[in-house]
Amino acid sequence: MAELMYWEAIRRAHDEEMTNDPLVICMGEDIGVAGGTYKATNGLYDKYGPERVIDTPISENGYTGLGIGASFLGVRPIIEIMSVNFAWLAMDQLFNSAAKVRYMSGGQLTAPVVVRSAGGTAHQLGAQHSARMEKVFMSIAGLRVVTPSNPRQAYGLLKSAVRCNDPVYINEHELMYNMKGEVPDEEYFHPLVGSEVAREGRDVTLFGYNISVHWCLQAAETLSKQYGIEAEVIDLFALAPLDRAGIVASVRKTHRAVIAEEAEPAVGVGAEVMAIINEECFFELDAAPVRVSAVNVPIPYNHTLEKAAIPNAGDVVAAVRKMLGK
């Protein structure tokens, strides 16, 4: 098994899917000649040409709609939106056209597009380049939402997303493109539904997704070594639909839940996971579930303030200790 960086894994998935099917194309700003802001399409322009690796104008709603229209006739576009903050502009086409066309046509038309975008806070990018928008996408019926926490998922989720007949939004992370991890050498298709047990434990379940999985894993180490607490970590790589059964199974085992999210708490992944726990296994809880979320502010430029706005592994440790009184 080779170690790849997150961006290399995404690039490899593009490359394989484009080789496999001549109707797979990719499009977005600066993805062709320039190779992509995060290099996720590096070299593909030379290999597949301008008809299939399309440098678009800065028209997020327009080119997303164009990709959706192409998908009506069997093309499989992988649309890169440079940053999630710009994806707001494409929500009209993604939500109103792609997510709804199957339903409102009574199953006659589908929009098998993949939209990938980089979200999250990074290095002092300021209020307009630090959005965490997965909560918005996951609330739309007709859209699948996945979010890879490592290169293996980044590779395998994109492969399945390209072939799946539903529109899929892939939420990547600004800070994770250079993360290294093992990716199978042979072709691998990651399921678009479910969750993964990233670490087994018995005392408390830590739910994370994308970057917050890493805070949870780090926190679990600390909790085990310093406090004798064995935390289970569940990686919610699929946000829509959420893995109800997986969430419940782990809470039934540990009877405690902490959800770590990089986004603001309101109407978010944490709120949704808590609601599921409430609905499904309230009486099996030994403690009230807790969210570890961002502070509800536009992300500040100042480094200290930015750090204060976003949670980290230490916050997860503190939440668990408080819950267990240790």
Partner 1 sequence: MNLADKKRLLREMLFARRFEERCYEAYVERKIGGFLHLYSGEEACAHGVLEASKKGHDYVITSYRDHVHAIKCGADPKKVMAELYAKETGSSKGRGGSMHIFDVEHRFMGGYALVGGPFPLAAGMAKAIKMKGGDEIVICFLGDAANNQGTFHESLNMAKLWDLPVLYVCENNLYGIGTRIDRSTAVIDQYKRVSGYNIPSAQEDGQDIEKVFKAAKKAINHVRSGKGPYFLELMTYRYRGHSMSDSNAYRSKSEERMWSNRDPIIMLRDRLIEAGELTGEDYKAMDTEVLDEIEDEVIAFAESSPEPRVDELEKYTLAENDPWVYGGGR
| Minimum separation from the CB atom of position 296 to partner 1 (A) | 30
Among residues 86, 89, 85, which one has the least CA distance to residue 127? 85
| Minimum separation from the CB atom of position 322 to partner 1 (A) | 38
Question: 303 catalytic, yes or no?
Answer: no
Residue in 5, 13, 18, 25 binding partner 1, rule: CB under 8 A: 25
User: Is 153 a residue that touches partner 1 (CB under 8 A)?
Assistant: no
Residue closer to partner 1 (CB basis): 82 or 309: 82
User: Is 107 a residue that touches partner 1 (CB under 8 A)?
Assistant: yes
Interstrand relation of 257-260 and 204-208 (parallel, antiparallel or unpaired): parallel
Residue in 192, 204, 229, 236 binding partner 1, rule: CB under 8 A: 192
Interstrand relation of 180-183 and 2-5 (parallel, antiparallel or unpaired): antiparallel
Q: Catalytic: which of 8, 17, 29, 60?
A: 60
Buried b (16+ CB within 10 A) or exposed e, 33-43: eebbbbbbbbe
CA 79 to chain centre: 15
What tokens appear for 320 in the block? 């668990």
User: Is 79 a residue that touches partner 1 (CB under 8 A)?
Assistant: no
Q: For residues 154 and 205, give the distance between their C-alpha atoms in angstroms, rounded to a whole number.
A: 24
User: Is 150 a residue that touches partner 1 (CB under 8 A)?
Assistant: no
Question: 221 catalytic, yes or no?
Answer: no
Task: Classify residue 268 by burial, with Cβ atoms within 10 Å: 0-12, 13-18, 19+.
Answer: buried
Among the candidate windows 163-171, 222-230, 278-286, 315-323, which touches partner 1 by CB under 8 A?
163-171
Q: What does the CA dihedral 37, 43, 44, 49 come to, rounded to 10 degrees?
A: 110
Which active-site residues does the annotation give?
A: 60, 129
Contacting positions for partner 1 (CB under 8 A): 23, 25, 51-52, 56-57, 59, 61-75, 92-93, 96-97, 101-110, 141-142, 144, 156, 160-161, 163-166, 189-193
